[in-house]
Amino acid sequence: MSIRERLAKLNPRQQEAVRYIDGPCLVLAGAGSGKTSVITSKIAYLVQECGMSARRIAAVTFTNKAAREMKERVGTMLKGREGHGLTVSTFHTLGLNIIRAELKALGYKPGFSLFDPEDAKALLRDLLQKDAQVDADQINRVQHRISNWKNDLILPGEALSHAADQDEHYAARAYEAYGRHLKAYNAVDFDDLILLPVVLLQNDPEALARWRRKIHYMLVDEYQDTNISQYLLVKLLMGERATFTVVGDDDQSIYAWRGARPENLVTLGEDFPSLKVIKLEQNYRSTGTILGAANTLISNNPHVYEKTLWSEMGRGDPIRVVVNRHEEAEAERVAGEILTRRIKERAEWRDFAVLYRGNFQARILELKLQHYQIPYKLSGGTSFFSRNEIKDAMAYLRLLINPADDNAFLRIVNVPRREIGPGTLEKLANYATQRECSLFAACHELGLEQLLPTRAVERLGRFTHFIDGVRRRMDSGDAIAAIRDMLIEMDYEAWLYQNASAPTIAERRLANVWTLIDQLEKSMQRDPEETSEENTASENTETDSVEAAISRLVLRDILEQQAEEDDSDRVQLLTMHASKGLEFPHVYLMGLEEELLPHRNAIEADTVEEERRLAYVGITRARRTLTLTLARQRKAYGELMDCTPSRFLDELPQDELEWEGRADKEDPQKKQARGQNAIAGLRSLLN
């Protein structure tokens, strides 16, 4: 389809948004109104109608899944080489690319490590425990605080001088030490992927000029969930030219807890007075009933921008609310329904999505789906990357590209067993601290022999020698072959078999490790096209791209916690947070109960509005049918608790709901209450 034909399919407002390229543009519109469609069409328009090179265009969004979907949609529009060099990625991947290209300017050495939140926590724990015993809660709080500072672009100095109380002061001091250590390890954390590029572009006019030359047009999806650092990144990259299009929906802002600033929508208008704002009003996704329910629910939140949404899809089926005895019955019900509906409606498995508030809710459902042999895909939860064997393999990869990565060193120095015990490691760590060097470097130092028995020194030496050998082989030839040889040479397979309770488990673990290496290889092959010109110009392209590929793997792990890009025919299980931007013909929303949705923490913190937006996101994923389920009893905090139906059920248009499973029999009087106020009746039964 030509771009003209494609444009003709869009409504006049969408066309206007696609065609407007002279200045900053904001598309502000509700769910399913075609915002993402505007972005994908606009990329094709820029390339095919305006003759802009795809290399000069960067489109960013929030999750890998969304980036992948967007890439696919664009892929069908651009032909042959038209799309080469186009960046369609998450914010964090864009940041990672900038950091990789600007390592020198940033003061990092080649082969830096990307710490995932767990690594970061381990480092923080070490730092905090130097002075006193601290509990896990405290560490989490400090980590969260540091993350928020980074998202707000507040550097340690400022955090210290503005600390309001003792707790903040404590966290700010930890922030400072944490930053220093990360740098010493030649490592960055997840939030640094945005923070470092912003700080660089603010302070280094040459780097700024380089990136402005490189990126001429930016498109941002899900703009309402940008944090301050992300907004500044866009603003810096675009500068005065302000050639960007951002699309968003303030009603779908669901990441405030992670530093997102929906008020960035307002800031945009202030920072760019020439901003063109386009509103879209037609929803192309959902039936009138579903859309009506979503609109009614969200009208309970205050609004800065008034939006109206209508649909031509007809009324469709009523929304069903299914009350179950307990959580197991709820899961059973959902699984059973998917099974029968698939047959009745000739639906495919992939047409169904089950959404929930927290990953823990998926466990029972998984068992039921397995029981009925329904294929499913779980996003989040126990991921490929959180498997032990993958963590080990990743630690090897990280150590290979950055020997100063102490976390990686500690994870695998004795995996497979090399008779290097905790006593040895403790002494080694003390020595490294004294010498202010990494553990790996400390192994090479002569002074170690005074502290450790000869045998221990030899064992450490053998290990570092082994790693150095692999590094040399990687540098001089086929890096992937060197990595494969390494796994064989150290007989990782035997180690897996020794440690698994059954051979089939070991087999699966081994297969996982090879899958990881295959993915790494694939990712390297893709690399030349994706790297910016600045990168490919570097001297050692081979290792450079292994490093790049490894960093990307680590990033993918953090972002999506899911390795397989599995788009086969499966029921999708995901949290409401992860469902943003997606759509499915049949949606089940589980656990519509107080303390679950809205979440207990949100009720306590008085942030129910964000939970309402989350429910709005969930509801608006549905195209044809929507089923809301809840349980009367649920295990929580180790006990069986009575549940109260979610207040959000009260807020939906009651005559559009079809209730099932109300326990009328238990109380004949309640029968009369039916149809008056369904939820009020239900509530009294439940309490």
Q: Which residues pair with 110 in a beta bridge?
A: none
Q: Is 618 annotated as a binding residue?
A: no
Q: Is 30 annotated as a binding residue?
A: yes
Q: Which of residues 522-551 bind ligand ATP (CB under 6 A)?
A: none
CA-CA distance, 105 to 128, in Å (whole number)? 30
Whether 569 sits among the annotated catalytic residues: the reply is: no
Which one of 69, 102, 191, 222 is the catalytic residue?
222
Q: Name residue 573's amino acid.
A: L
How near is the Cβ of 204 to Mg ion at its closest, in Å? 34
Instruction: State how far Cα 339 lies from the chain centre.
Output: 30
Q: Which of residues 526-585 bind Mg ion (CB under 5 A)?
A: 581
Asked if residue 563 lies in contact with residue 383, where contact means CB atoms within 8 angstroms, the answer is yes
Residue 9 interaction partner, one of Mg ion, ligand ATP, none, beta carbon < 5-8 Å per kind: ligand ATP
| Among residues 14, 32, 33, 36, the one that binds Mg ion under rule CB under 5 A | 36
Q: Name residue 355's amino acid.
A: L
Q: Which of residues 371-390 bind ligand ATP (CB under 6 A)?
A: none
Whether 36 sits among the annotated catalytic residues: the reply is: yes
Give the x/- contact pattern for ligand ATP in 236-255, rule: CB under 6 A: -------------x--x---
Q: Which residues pair with 27 in a beta bridge?
A: 247, 278
Residue 197 interaction partner, one of ligand ATP, Mg ion, none, beta carbon < 5-8 Å per kind: none
Whether 522 sits among the annotated catalytic residues: the reply is: no
Do strands 282-283 and 622-636 pair parallel, antiparallel, or not at all (unpaired)? unpaired
Number of residues near Mg ion (by CB under 5 A): 3
Q: Name residue 271's amino acid.
A: D
Question: Which residue's C-beta sits nearest to ligand ATP?
Answer: 34
The piece of 7-15, 17-25, 411-419, 630-638 that touches ligand ATP (CB under 6 A) is 7-15
135: left (phi over 0), alpha (psi -120 to 50) or beta: beta
SS (H, E, C) 591-650: CCECEECCEHHHHHHCCHHHHHHHHHHHHCCEEEEEEEEEEEEEEECCEEEECCECHHHH
| Among residues 18, 37, 353, 652, the one that binds ligand ATP under rule CB under 6 A | 37
Q: Does 9 bind ligand ATP (CB under 6 A)?
A: yes
In this structure, what are the phi and psi dihedrals at residue 326, rounded to the nearest 5 degrees? -150, 180
Asked if residue 159 lies in contact with residue 190, where contact means CB atoms within 8 angstroms, the answer is no
Whether 221 sits among the annotated catalytic residues: the reply is: yes
Q: Name residue 303's amino acid.
A: H
Query: Residue 62 or 396: which CB sits closer to ligand ATP?
Result: 62
Do strands 113-115 and 276-280 pair parallel, antiparallel, or not at all (unpaired)? unpaired
| Among residues 6, 7, 11, 263, the one that binds ligand ATP under rule CB under 6 A | 11
Q: Is 325 annotated as a binding residue?
A: no
| Among residues 3, 17, 18, 34, the one that binds ligand ATP under rule CB under 6 A | 34
How near is the Cβ of 621 to Mg ion at its closest, in Å? 11
Residue 483 interaction partner, one of Mg ion, ligand ATP, none, beta carbon < 5-8 Å per kind: none
Q: Is 83 annotated as a binding residue?
A: no
How near is the Cβ of 61 to Mg ion at its closest, in Å? 8
Question: 10 Å Cβ neighbour count for 316?
Answer: 18
271 SS3 class: helix
Q: Is 32 annotated as a binding residue?
A: yes
Give the x/- contact pattern for ligand ATP in 571-610, rule: CB under 6 A: ----------x-x---------------------------
How near is the Cβ of 97 to Mg ion at its closest, in Å? 23
> For the chain, how big is the Rg over CA atoms in Å?
27
Instruction: State how far Cα 514 lies from the chain centre.
Output: 24
CA-CA distance, 182 to 113, in Å (whole number)? 9
Asked if residue 292 lies in contact with residue 646, where contact means CB atoms within 8 angstroms, the answer is no
What are 599's two structure tokens? 């979440």
Number of residues near ligand ATP (by CB under 6 A): 19
Which one of 333, 621, 624, 632 is the catalytic residue?
621
Q: Does 262 bind ligand ATP (CB under 6 A)?
A: no
All residues at 6 or more sequence positions from 666 whose CB lies less than 8 Å from its CB, including other chains: 685
Query: Residue 35 or 599: which CB sits closer to Mg ion?
Result: 35
Residue 286 interaction partner, one of Mg ion, ligand ATP, none, beta carbon < 5-8 Å per kind: none
All residues at 6 or more sequence positions from 276 whose CB lies less than 8 Å from its CB, including other chains: 20, 23, 24, 25, 26
Q: Is 379 annotated as a binding residue?
A: no
Residues lying near ligand ATP in the complex (CB under 6 A): 9-11, 14, 29, 31-37, 249, 252, 284-285, 581, 583, 620
The residues annotated with a catalytic role in the active site are 35-36, 221-222, 252, 621
Annotated binding site: 29-36, 285
Annotated binding site for ATP: 29-36, 285
